Structure 1
Amino acid sequence: MIEVKNSLLSSVPSDWVKVGSTKAVSRFHSPFIVENYRHLNQLREQLVLDCNAEWLNFLDHFSEYYHSVLKAVNHLATVDCIFSLAKVAKQGAYCRPVVQDKGKKIIIKKGRHPVIDVLLGEQDQYVPNSTNLSGDKERVMIITGPNMGGKSSYIKQVALITIMAQIGSYVPAEESTVGIVDGIFTRMGAADNIYKGRSTFMEELTDTAEIIRKATSSSLVILDELGRGTSTHDGIAIAYATLEHFIRDVKSLTLFVTHYPSVCDLEKIYPEQVGNYHMAFLVNEEESEQQKDEENPEFITFLYQITRGVAARSYGLNVAKLADVPEEILKKAAHKSKELEGLVNMKRSE
């Protein structure tokens, strides 16, 4: 563009085209620029037409070899997958699992979560855990324990090792024997569905109902804190009845995480099929002694080890403390917790 001061506009040739102006100057295109710019636009349009024509021509020729190329891509994907599995197998801490066509069982000795294990690999901090589920023996694990104690990571670990074994991969464990499962059904997490107008609890129960309909005795079922989205009594009732259905009727291999101690009573009713477990932890005795007369939450240390027995408490206030909830709120919560715990114990003694 050519800029001309507005005071000199009278000297601008008549064939120049004005394209813009300010208070001080006006901008023009000369006939040479106008003609060549028009020609440039024509070339651009022609380029688009030629490219489209060549692309369609390429597709016409490519269609003749489509199936051959598709086969080649699928073979490359298979080779890529095999190389990935081979790379996993070369890792020192992985073992070759025994996969059985008959007999439903998941036996894992010192298994590890494949992702978390890599993330913590340099520090060598991951705590391995074993699993022993068998269709003709103990096939249900009820898992309790403190919040952030490793319950969800443990059940994910079992599911991932089962999948890896079944696709022919080495697995992160010392030893592993896995029977073929016809499906792995999980209900974990908490989220609503605004588009369908479903609350978090509705989503939870919808997923659970789908699992009840589809799971078989050859399935692995994983339910994480079923019933937490409603009142305590309703939550316990739903969790208890659902788990008993899987124990008595479905007879699937089941991992059931809960904070409801009442659900753990199912071990007494089905002692051969059900086992109670918890993620181990230590209560800091020194701090607990100091806090006996104070209204403060207890401090615990997570051991991340699956252990026989029921954890009577979830130590949610400990997580609140780790999350930097204000001290006055923690003290009030600790006081209220002890008050409610005292009322429950009083009712039980009556």
Structure 2
Amino acid sequence: MFRKLKWLFGVIMLGVLLGFAAPVQAADTGANFTVSPAAYPSEQVGGDLGYFQLKVNPNQTGSVGIKIQNYGATDQSFTITPTKATTSEGGQIDYAPTKRKLDRSAKHNLTQILSKKQTVTVPAKTTKTVTFTYQIPKKGFKGMLLGGFYVYSNTRKTGTNSNVTNRFAMTIGISMSQDSPHRLAPKLKMGSAKTANHGDNLTAVAKLRNVQPTYFRGMRIQTMVTKPGHQKVLYRQHTTNGSMAPTSNFNYTMNVGQKITTPGRYLAHITVKARGKTWHFNRPFTISATTATKQITHVNRWGAVWWLWAIIIVLILAIVGGFFYWLGARKKR
């Protein structure tokens, strides 16, 4: 059990390291290495930000450098992969490598502009700079291209327990634009809503699309579900502090099964706010009898389980209470 807990802790730590919400300089002493931008190119805007923010021109070529410092006592191997920023299913900008595609509205991809991934070895107690080149399209591009350099340690770090192995990764962000990165306002669209059983949970899902090449943060989503033509709210959901990468999308999930288990037609009223703008979407969806039955079975099963646990707890308390009562009565005798 102890070994499993240590392995789980290692996985959680790795998840924390990979879950950057913004392009920042990355460092973690437990990993025995740090990554940071090398000398900033002349195209850098905003000074020493800890990430690359470049203002470029059509058909321009250039390069950027990633500095890897190995604090460990042994050599370490690293793979550095240029990535495009996408939006995770949780509605957050994601800089990690993924098979997730950009929205169909995307005209350009940062990974097509940057040179390919590299694998290097950094000797112990030394620093190495890895250089990537870029080639801007001849006709340039509109808005912003956003992504990162994902630095992954191929060297296993084994803890005191030889069965526990950790790997570490860090990301340095990069953005490219030809003018002000916030000149374009976001433009959101939403696809149709469909129901699905995710595991044992009944959900309604609609694809939210940012069709402009600009990113934003502080997104708020307010959802109310009613029957068509009725005002009574059957389900509410509120999401705050969301973010979206340029020309990206994600599946906005409504956990309607928490409140709704009856088959029929429903209407989701969805309001999205970001960068001072507001969008309203009304998306109908239908819960089939089959889908509802699965959800009801799940709710009833867990209800039965909780009742069983409640009975067990009451019995345990009764036994413990009876034991102490018997012990007290015995002392009086």
Q: TM-score, normalization: structure 2? A: 0.22
Report the structure, 1 or 2, having the larger helix content: 1
Larger radius of gyration: 1
